[in-house]
């Protein structure tokens, strides 16, 4: 390992280039990072003098020597800093070129000495070659071409960084004076310094990468894993693994909210029965894969890529082509409980598994939809019986190993979930709790809406419900008026507290604003015009009191028992 201090004019001069390998993440510095660098530059500029300002370190490893004598170095750490500095120099070059005072010579000097290898071919022309996803925009900046229109599905920070520095260079210092570009050039190239650490052939570049990860902007678990996997391979094999697996995964995972890619790797590992905390995903995967040969590692990565496809279907049901499976997945998404995901990844392998992901179990689309319905019933019955959710992680982590191998996966799933220790409420327990559970108060909005929508659908509607046209209505209102107190009688407060948020008092309506807390006689007229079957029984009542609420709850409970099946009954 060799470490030397270099001013920027030394670092970028000479026939050499720094290559950002494909496993590195996309350029990710933001305005706060650019602003911090610019503030440092302005401080040194305004102070004058010859003091040196330290920018940090660049860690690289010799890669190759091209026929033209260009020395190439693979960047292990410092790619964000290198990319930013060259974008700054490009902005300075173009600002000089725009001046009408003959300083185009200075612009050409910056271009030929610090941004390009003048006589290099292809990518060897560039002092810095960013990772593949950044190359188009970056090369356009260096080649003085107009930036391409950005893909709305991808984050581009190359163009914004270049434009940020261009604006700053055309601004003023803290006193309001126009910036002296010649002085700025001397400051940037001559007074800013980095430590360039060049690894030797015996240095373990990945160990160095791990130790330096705390520097700069922290890497996500996904970044660390991608780098670890790809750095295990060399040359063409690395390119092949990246193109076949990691590039498609990176692209597809952008459809998810931030940090969900980390969750995908977490669930893909938990699918194997290993419990892993979110902060330990990288280390657990590394521990699992360190002992694998390269062919075995490639097969493991292929499995992860397959799990990624399935994870996306679980998270975004619209991606699932089968209507039955898509319907059930959408219901689980609405329920908002993600703990079954490790088991669902296994079920998807039984459904779609081919090649390296093949399984001795097999389910068709109808079977997978049924498995999903069992899991939904298990979760909803537990939810409405007030059973704590904290054991769910462990339950679904172990479930695949608890299936009876003599049964098909669909039947085996229901049997395994029916183990007494897993607390899947039977019909009696569910009936005792469903009618009295404070559904509106103790569930999330999407959960209670799913339950009421499902009860309505159970009447056999041929037309799909449109949730956007209705909201949940309390028949007995949240605030009791004098008319409502008269209707409920002397026990009005007790009845109100006991039944307000329960299923017997809740319905769906598009007339909530009109009904508000009006007397039942007026609400009844609105509900009588409704096309929803949930409102029919209410509209038939002369009074709305505890007896009416409990009678309706009884009817809905009978439906709920049929909709959300219970455990296998043991003899």
| Residue 164 pLDDT > 50 | yes
Q: How confident is the model at residue 165 (pLDDT cuts 50, 70, 90)?
A: very high
Residues 424/374, Cβ–Cβ less than 8 Å:
no
Q: Please give the residue that has the higher pLDDT: either 282 or 421.
A: 421
The mean pLDDT value of the chain amounts to: 88
Q: How confident is the model at residue 212 (pLDDT cuts 50, 70, 90)?
A: low
464 exposure class (CB count in 10 Å sphere: 0-12, 13-18, 19+): exposed
Least confident interval from 149-163, 311-325, 352-366 = 352-366
225 exposure class (CB count in 10 Å sphere: 0-12, 13-18, 19+): buried
Q: Please give the residue that has the higher pLDDT: either 279 or 520.
A: 520
- Determine the pLDDT at residue 58: 86
Residues 191/7, Cβ–Cβ less than 8 Å:
yes
**What gap in Å lies between CA 241 and CA 262, rounded to an integer?**
19
DSSP state of 178: B
- Determine the pLDDT at residue 357: 40
Neighbours of 432 (CB within 10 A): 13
Who's near 398: CB < 8 A, 6+ residues apart? Answer: 273
**3-class SS at 116?**
strand
Least confident interval from 30-34, 52-56, 537-541 = 52-56
Neighbours of 508 (CB within 10 A): 22
Q: What's the pTM value of the predicted model, to 2 decimals? A: 0.71
- In terms of phi and psi (left: phi > 0; alpha: psi -120 to 50; beta: otherwise), the region of 122 is left
**3-class SS at 549?**
helix
Q: Map tokens 């470490």 to a residue.
A: 3
Residues 282/221, Cβ–Cβ less than 8 Å:
yes
| Residue 316 pLDDT > 80 | yes
- Determine the pLDDT at residue 216: 42
- Determine the pLDDT at residue 336: 94
Percent of the chain at pLDDT exceeding 70? 91
Q: How confident is the model at residue 64 (pLDDT cuts 50, 70, 90)?
A: low
**What gap in Å lies between CA 378 and CA 383, rounded to an integer?**
9
**What gap in Å lies between CA 434 and CA 503, rounded to an integer?**
8
Residues 418/567, Cβ–Cβ less than 8 Å:
yes
**What gap in Å lies between CA 95 and CA 223, rounded to an integer?**
35
* Biggest CA pair distance of the chain: 97
**What gap in Å lies between CA 373 and CA 318, rounded to an integer?**
18
- Determine the pLDDT at residue 403: 94
Q: How confident is the model at residue 63 (pLDDT cuts 50, 70, 90)?
A: confident
- Determine the pLDDT at residue 358: 40
Percent of the chain at pLDDT exceeding 90? 59
Question: Is residue 559 within a helix (H) or strand (E), and if so which, with residue range?
Answer: helix 546-563
């Amino acid at each position: 390992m060799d470490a030397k201090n270099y001013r920027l004019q030394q670092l970028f001069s000479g026939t050499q280039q720094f290559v950002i390998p494909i496993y590195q993440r996309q350029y990710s510095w933001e305005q706060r990072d650019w602003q911090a660098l610019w503030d440092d530059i302005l401080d040194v500029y305004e102070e004058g003098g010859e003091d040196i300002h330290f920018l940090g370190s660049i860690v690289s490893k010799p890669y190759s020597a091209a026929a033209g004598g260009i020395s190439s170095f693979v960047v292990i750490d410092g790619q964000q800093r290198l990319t930013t500095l060259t974008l700054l120099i490009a902005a300075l070059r173009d600002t000089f070129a725009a001046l009408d005072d003959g300083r185009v010579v200075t612009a050409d000097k910056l271009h030929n000495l610090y941004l390009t290898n003048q006589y290099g071919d292809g990518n060897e022309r560039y002092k810095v070659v960013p990772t593949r996803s950044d190359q188009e925009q970056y090369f356009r900046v260096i080649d003085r071409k107009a930036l391409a229109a950005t893909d709305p599905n991808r984050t581009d920070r190359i163009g914004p960084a270049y434009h940020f520095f261009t604006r700053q260079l055309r601004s003023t210092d803290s006193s309001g004076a126009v910036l002296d570009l010649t002085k700025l050039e001397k400051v940037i190239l001559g007074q800013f310094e980095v430590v360039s650490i060049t690894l030797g052939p015996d240095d373990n570049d990945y160990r160095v990468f791990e130790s330096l990860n705390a520097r700069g902007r922290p890497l996500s678990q996904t970044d660390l894993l991608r780098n670890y996997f790809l750095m295990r391979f060399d040359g063409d094999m690395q390119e092949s693994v990246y193109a076949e697996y990691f590039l498609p995964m990176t692209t597809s995972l952008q459809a998810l909210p931030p940090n969900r890619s980390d969750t995908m790797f977490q669930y893909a590992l938990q699918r194997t029965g290993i419990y892993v905390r979110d902060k330990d995903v990288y280390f657990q995967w590394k521990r699992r894969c360190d002992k694998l040969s390269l062919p075995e590692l490639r097969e493991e990565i292929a499995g992860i890529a397959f799990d990624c496809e399935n994870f996306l279907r679980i998270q975004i049901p619209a991606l699932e082509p089968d209507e039955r499976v898509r319907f059930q997945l959408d219901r689980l998404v609405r329920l908002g409980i993600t703990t079954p995901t490790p088991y669902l990844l296994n079920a998807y392998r039984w459904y779609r598994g081919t090649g390296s992901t093949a399984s001795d179990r097999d389910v068709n689309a109808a079977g997978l939809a049924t498995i999903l319905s069992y899991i939904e019933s298990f979760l909803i019955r537990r939810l409405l019986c007030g059973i704590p959710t904290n054991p769910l992680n462990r339950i679904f982590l172990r479930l695949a190993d608890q299936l009876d191998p003599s049964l098909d996966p669909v039947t085996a799933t229901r049997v395994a979930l029916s183990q007494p220790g897993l607390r899947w409420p039977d019909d009696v327990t569910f009936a005792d709790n469903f009618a009295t559970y404070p559904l509106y108060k103790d569930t999330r909005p999407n959960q209670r809406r799913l339950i009421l929508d499902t009860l309505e659908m159970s009447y056999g509607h041929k037309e799909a419900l449109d949730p956007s046209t209705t909201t949940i209505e309390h028949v007995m209102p949240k605030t009791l008026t004098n008319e409502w107190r008269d209707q409920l009688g002397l026990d009005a407060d007790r009845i109100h507290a006991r039944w307000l948020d329960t299923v017997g008092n809740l319905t769906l309506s598009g007339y909530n604003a009109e009904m508000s807390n009006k007397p039942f006689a007026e609400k009844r007229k609105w509900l009588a015009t409704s096309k929803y079957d949930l409102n029919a029984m209410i509209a038939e009542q002369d009074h709305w009191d505890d007896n009416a609420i409990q009678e309706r709850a009884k009817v809905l409970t009978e439906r709920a028992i049929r909709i959300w099946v219970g455990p296998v009954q043991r003899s």
